[in-house]
């Protein structure tokens, strides 16, 4: 099982990327291979002008294809996810997340827009055919402390929430691999009692 961590903030010092640092530490401790994709490192021109043949975009699309599980972290911008995340997701093939387990994460200035995870990001991940989108984790800026090195650290209660989410991610991704080959049941054979 390999996990791709996608950082969707345009900022260099990023709280949502700080969430991915914590996820990466947890996955590394669990001996899961981790790869990281910073959308801000991709060619801005290729992102904005749909340059799917640009090398940085091709490598990023390949990284998504190679992953068993994907963790997407974004800041909330104007009550939704970031624009740079959207332009990247728009460049993915229609079924780019097929068969994959996805964990959405978001940070926001206040709790008021926590539903952006479910109302804005989740439908997009669903449209990319994600097999299983796990319950997201939303963290407000006040739940971070910034160390002297500029790195963001999570409050203990949110660290616990994240540990639970990562444990679920590992369990669900493993379960999915174990059941690969399960025959889908045709709708005509589905019986219900209503």
Binding site for ligand FMN (CB under 6 A): 9, 11, 14-17, 75-79, 107-110, 112-113, 141
Looking at the Cβ atoms of 15 and 32, the one nearer to ligand FMN is 15
Looking at the Cβ atoms of 32 and 113, the one nearer to ligand FMN is 113
What's the CA gap between 58 and 60, in Å, rounded?
5
> Are 135 and 30 a contacting pair, CB within 8 Å?
no
Looking at the Cβ atoms of 147 and 184, the one nearer to ligand FMN is 147
Taking the complex as a whole, the smallest distance from the CB of residue 28 to ligand FMN amounts, in Å, to: 21
> Are 8 and 73 a contacting pair, CB within 8 Å?
yes
112 phi-psi bin (left φ>0, alpha ψ -120 to 50, beta other): alpha
Taking the complex as a whole, the smallest distance from the CB of residue 155 to ligand FMN amounts, in Å, to: 13
> Are 74 and 121 a contacting pair, CB within 8 Å?
yes
Taking the complex as a whole, the smallest distance from the CB of residue 177 to ligand FMN amounts, in Å, to: 31
Looking at the Cβ atoms of 89 and 170, the one nearer to ligand FMN is 89
Taking the complex as a whole, the smallest distance from the CB of residue 84 to ligand FMN amounts, in Å, to: 10
Looking at the Cβ atoms of 80 and 170, the one nearer to ligand FMN is 80
Nearest residue to 137 (alpha-carbon basis) of 3, 18, 10 = 18
Longest dimension (CA), the chain: 61
Looking at the Cβ atoms of 107 and 176, the one nearer to ligand FMN is 107
User: With helix as H, strand as E and coil as C, how does 39-86 read?
Assistant: HHHCCHHHHHCCCCCCHHHHHHHHHHHHCCEEEEEEECECCECCHHHH
Taking the complex as a whole, the smallest distance from the CB of residue 144 to ligand FMN amounts, in Å, to: 8
Taking the complex as a whole, the smallest distance from the CB of residue 154 to ligand FMN amounts, in Å, to: 12
Nearest residue to 72 (alpha-carbon basis) of 3, 173, 164 = 3
């Amino acid at each position: 099982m390999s996990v791709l961590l996608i950082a969707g903030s345009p900022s260099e010092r990023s709280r949502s990327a700080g969430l991915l640092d914590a996820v990466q530490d947890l996955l590394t401790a669990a001996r899961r291979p981790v790869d990281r994709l910073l959308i801000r490192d991709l060619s801005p021109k290729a992102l904005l002008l749909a340059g799917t043949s640009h090398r940085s975009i091709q490598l990023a699309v390949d990284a998504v294809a190679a992953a068993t599980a994907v963790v997407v972290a974004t800041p909330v911008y104007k009550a939704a996810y970031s624009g740079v995340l959207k332009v990247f997701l728009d460049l993915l093939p229609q079924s780019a997340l097929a068969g994959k387990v996805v964990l959405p994460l978001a940070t926001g200035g206040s709790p008021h827009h926590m539903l952006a995870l479910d109302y804005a990001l989740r439908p997009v991940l669903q449209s990319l055919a994600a097999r299983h989108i796990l319950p997201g984790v939303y963290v407000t800026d006040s739940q971070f402390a910034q160390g002297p090195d500029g790195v963001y650290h999570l409050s203990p209660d949110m660290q616990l929430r994240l540990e639970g989410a990562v444990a679920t991610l590992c369990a669900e991704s493993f379960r999915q691999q174990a059941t690969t080959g399960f025959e889908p049941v045709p709708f005509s054979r589905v019986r219900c009692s209503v």
